[in-house]
Structure 1
Amino acid sequence: MSATARPDTAGGRAALLEFYDDAVVDVYGYFHRRCRHRSVAEDLTTETFLAAVDSIERGVVETVTVAWLVGIARHKLVDHWRRTEREQRRLAAVGAEPDPPPDHDWDVHLDALATQDVLDDLGEHHRSVLTLRYVDDLPVADVARLIDRTLHATEALLVRARRAFRTRYEEVTR
């Protein structure tokens, strides 16, 4: 499995295509684990690779790695959550009800499943800040930069998100 592609070499196109075949699994998996919706994961994977190609064509990057692509993916995921949150606010403003969380036909027996269900039930802003901080293990300052908030606003959001998560988790696991 190729870990990098050098698009500026003579075989750049072939190398990039070969790299794509290897890296698409990692990038798609990154999205699917975080949003659990196949179509969203596929769309975000496409957006990530289009952004990578654009960066390569502009000469912004010399060597493409999976880590660099996951960095682009992280930004695309945050953008997706922001778009979703804006859309939900617009719907609420006109009196529409947001879509209910998906129903599950089975009882939740594992804490990991309960945790994912609770994350799915949270608002996009809470889910994104908790995922970036505790799943991606980013420092609060990096989370603040990614969600375009001040450090103090991000810390306050994390407090509210943890409280919402804890309350919902206790309801789900009782």
Structure 2
Amino acid sequence: MACGLQNGDREAWTLLYQHNSERVWRYVARLVGSDRSAVADIVQETFVAAAHSARNYDAGRGPLAQWLLGIAHHHVAQYWAAAARHSALPRLIQTGLVQSRLVLASGPGEAGLTEADDPARLLEQSESAELVRRVLSELPSEAALVLCGKYLDDLSVEDLVARDGGTVESVRSRLARARRDFRERYERLARWDEVAAEPKPRHPPSEDAS
């Protein structure tokens, strides 16, 4: 199929869409939320971008589905960057929602989230979900994909190997790095929240003030 895509074969593109559109939609929806219009736009942008960059696809770097999801992840990140410019994220942080905690384990094993810190549970809470989605969107696409697969799709390490390739050891290593990266980014937001919540000192009026 890859050769057909790179040669602009219409049938190959039809098959690519039929085989992957649902998965791309589901992934985008998880990171964007219930705004179906935004999800539809991002999915459309993903396939348009894929058409423009098909000649750059390298099968040695992963399967077609992973390539597509990487493109989708890039567009999701752009979506959240635009939202942040309109003060969506600062509003969330300043209201203290960052204190809802998503602390990921740093160990190399498969264990990563306590039941109380499960992102699937946090995503059921609309306000916390927006913050979690933003943090996920800022991760490299490989990290976000493996975290979503493990904790939102309930895939085992073996399932992730079958889906994305690699070995059990390499997938466990990716999970450990992804958890560590997520935790570091989340903690940076927590520190931002603490600074924002600190009372600002009030200076007495200057004696020279009129």
Query: Which residue of 2 is the match for residue 171 of structure 1?
Result: none
- Of residues 119, 130, 134 in structure 2, which corresponds to 1:128? 134
Structure 1 residue ranges without an equivalent (≥5): 93-110, 145-153, 165-174
Q: How does 1:57-96 map to 2 (within 5 A)?
A: 59-61=55-57, 65-88=64-87
Match of 1:53 among 51, 59, 71: 51
- Superimposed CA distance per residue, residues 51-96 of structure 1 (whole angstroms, 9 cap, x where no aligned partner): 101102xx2226571110011111111111111111226xx8xxxx
Give the superposition deviation at 1:48.
0.7
> Which structure has the larger Rg over C-alpha atoms?
2
Which structure is higher in RCO with an 8 Å CA cutoff and minimum separation 6?
Answer: 2
Distance in 2 (alpha carbons) for counterparts of 1:8 and 1:127: 32
Measured on the aligned residues, the alpha-carbon RMSD in Å equals 3.9
Partner of residue 186 from structure 2, selected from 158, 165, 172 = 158
**TM-score after normalising by structure 2:** 0.47
3-state SS of paired residue (1:139)? helix
> For 2:31 and 2:76, how far apart are their aligned partners in 1?
9
Report the Cα distance in structure 1 between the residues aligned to 2:178 and 2:119, rounded to whole angstroms: 23
1:116 partnered with 2:123: yes
Gaps of 5+ in 2: 92-117, 149-174, 193-210
Letter in 1 for 2:11: A
Which one-letter code corresponds to 1:158 in the other structure? Y
CA contact (8 A) 1:28 1:45 kept: yes
Contact 2:28 / 2:39 at 8 angstroms: preserved in 1? yes
- Does the alignment pair 1:139 with 2:177? yes
Alignment check: 8 A CA contact 1:52 1:69 kept: yes
TM-score normalised by structure 1 residue count: 0.56
Out of 17-26 and 126-135, give the one that drifted further. Answer: 126-135
- Once superposed, which parts of structure 1, at least 4 consecutive aligned residues long, lie more than 6 Å away? none
Give the paired residue count.
128
Which of 19, 24, 31 in structure 2 is aligned with 1:22?
19
User: Does the CA contact (< 8 Å) of 2:46 and 2:71 recur in 1?
Assistant: yes
Aligned residue number for residue 114 of structure 2: none
